[in-house]
Structure 1
C-alpha cells in the first residue's frame, strides 16, 4: 500500500473513531478499510459515506452536480464578514470539489437616480465602494475571486485591503483594471446586475447575509448557517444516493 493511500486510511480511521467512538463499521460491511471509499455502494454498506466525503478520499462522482451556494451580502456588514471568514470560505476550502459558491455583493443597497452615484448603501459610501470593487474583482479574476474576497473581508480595512489582496492571489490582473472598472460604467453595470438578482429573490430577502442553496432558501437554513459544512455534505449525499438508487432519502 502506498504512503498516500495508507495516510488516507489512517485519517479515515481517525474520523470514524471520532464520529462514532469506534473504528469498526457495521456488520454488513465485508470490506477492508482500504476499500471503504472506493465506491458509494461500499461506503453505504460500511456506514462511512460522511467520513469518506470529509477526508476527500475519492474524487466526487462527476455525474452528481455540485451543491450550488449563493451568498447575498454587503462588503462592510459585520455579520456578513463573520459568515464569509468563519463559515463559507472554510467550508468551500474543504468541499470545493462538491460545491460552487457565487458571491453577490449588494445586500440592502438601493438603486436611486442620482448625479453622483446611482446607489446608496446601508453602511454609507465606503460600503458602496467596497461592493463595487468586489463586484469588479469577481468579474475580472474568475476562479481566484473568492480567495481575494476572503482576504479583503478578513482584513481590518476591507477597501484598503483590495489592492494587496489582488496582488497576492491574482498577480496577473492589474489593479488599474479593477480601478477603472469600479470608477467607470462597467462597475455600475455589475452592481445593477447584482441589484436585479437581489430584488428577484423569493422569498424577498429580509437581512444579510442571505444564503440560498441549490436556488432555495431552505426553512432550516438559518439554523444550519452555523454548520454549513454538515449541511452541504448532507445535500450532496442525498444527490449521490438518489443517483445510485433512484430513491431520495
Structure 2
C-alpha cells in the first residue's frame, strides 16, 4: 500500500478509536483521510502536520518527469468504468508520486450544430449529461477530481452519485457551482475542448477506454494497461523506482495513538 494510503488508514483509526469506556474526540476536519496531506492548510485543520511531514520526507525526489497518463473515456461506458475503478484509480493511489493523470470525458460522442443538444453520445442523453458533469467537476476540483470521478464511476448509478461524491471529496466546492457549469457556457466550452482533444488524437481513437502514455498511443501499451496498469507505469518511469514498484520496505517513525 502507498505511504499516503497507509497514513490515511493509520490516522483514521486514531481518529475513530475508543475503548474501555473512554471517548476520544475526532479531529475537527471536513476532509476524508485521503486528502489530509494534500496541503499544509488541510494538514493543520486535521491536526496531522507531523505525520504528513514524515510521508513527504520519504517520497522520491523527482529528477525525471512523472509518467503522464491520459484517459479518453465516456461516463457510462461499462469498459471505461471497469478501467477507472479497477486499474486507474488503484494505480494512481499507489504511484501518484511518479504519475500524472488527465481525464477527458467525451469518447465516441459527436459534436453537432444544434442549440438544444450540441452533443450526441453513444449511450444516449444520460451519458452526455454524465460527461458534462464530470468535465465540470474535473475543472472545478483540481487535485480531488480523480477521487470524485472514481467514486462516481464505481457507484451503482453514476449520475446520482455525483453530488454525494463531490461533497465527500471536495467539501469546499458547492454543488451549485457544478450545476451552474453544467447549465452554462463554461460546461459547453469544456466539452468543446474535450471534443477537440479527442479529434486530435493520432492515431485516431477507435474505441474507449483509450489511453495514452506521455502523449503517445501504442496497442502494446494499451494491452498492458488493461491487464496491469500498475506494472506498466513502474516500467515506463525512468527515475529511481519508488518502494511500491520494488517492494522495498520503508520505515517510518513509530508513533501510536
TM-score by length of 2: 0.70
Question: 1:34 — aligned with what?
Answer: none
- Tell me if the contact between 2:73 and 2:80 (Cα under 8 Å) persists in the aligned partners: yes
- Tell me if the contact between 2:75 and 2:105 (Cα under 8 Å) persists in the aligned partners: yes
- Tell me if the contact between 2:67 and 2:98 (Cα under 8 Å) persists in the aligned partners: yes
C-alpha distance 232-57 of structure 1, shift in aligned 2 (>3 A): farther
User: What is the distance in 2 between the residues matched to 1:171 and 1:58?
Assistant: 28
Question: 2:151 — aligned with what?
Answer: 151
* 2:69 pairs with 1:73: no
Question: 1:230 — aligned with what?
Answer: 231
- Tell me if the contact between 2:60 and 2:240 (Cα under 8 Å) persists in the aligned partners: no
Q: How does 1:173-188 map to 2 (within 5 A)?
A: 173-188=173-188
1:81-140 deviations in whole A, cap 9, x for unaligned?
000000000000000000000000000000001121110000000000000000000000
Q: Secondary structure at the residue paired with 2:159?
A: coil
User: What is the distance in 1 between the residues matched to 2:106 and 2:88?
Assistant: 17
Q: Report the Cα offset of residue 221 of structure 1.
A: 1.4
User: What is the distance in 2 between the residues matched to 1:181 and 1:90?
Assistant: 29
Query: Highest Rg: 1 or 2?
Result: 1
TM-score by length of 1: 0.72
* Structure 1 runs, 4 residues or longer, greater than 6 Å off: none
Question: 1:90 — aligned with what?
Answer: 90
* 2:219 pairs with 1:219: yes
Q: Secondary structure at the residue paired with 1:102?
A: strand
User: What is the distance in 2 between the residues matched to 1:115 and 1:216?
Assistant: 34
User: What is the distance in 2 between the residues matched to 1:167 and 1:58?
Assistant: 31
User: What is the distance in 2 between the residues matched to 1:101 and 1:222?
Assistant: 15
Question: 2:16 — aligned with what?
Answer: none
Question: 1:35 — aligned with what?
Answer: none
Q: How does 1:21-100 map to 2 (within 5 A)?
A: 58-100=58-100
Q: Secondary structure at the residue paired with 1:204?
A: coil
Q: Secondary structure at the residue paired with 1:173?
A: coil
CA RMSD for the aligned pairs?
1.8
Question: 2:195 — aligned with what?
Answer: 195
User: What is the distance in 1 between the residues matched to 2:161 and 2:169?
Assistant: 12
Q: Report the Cα offset of residue 61 of structure 1.
A: 2.8
- Tell me if the contact between 2:138 and 2:145 (Cα under 8 Å) persists in the aligned partners: yes
5+ residue gaps, structure 2, are 4-55, 242-257
1:193-228 deviations in whole A, cap 9, x for unaligned?
000000000000000000000111123112202111
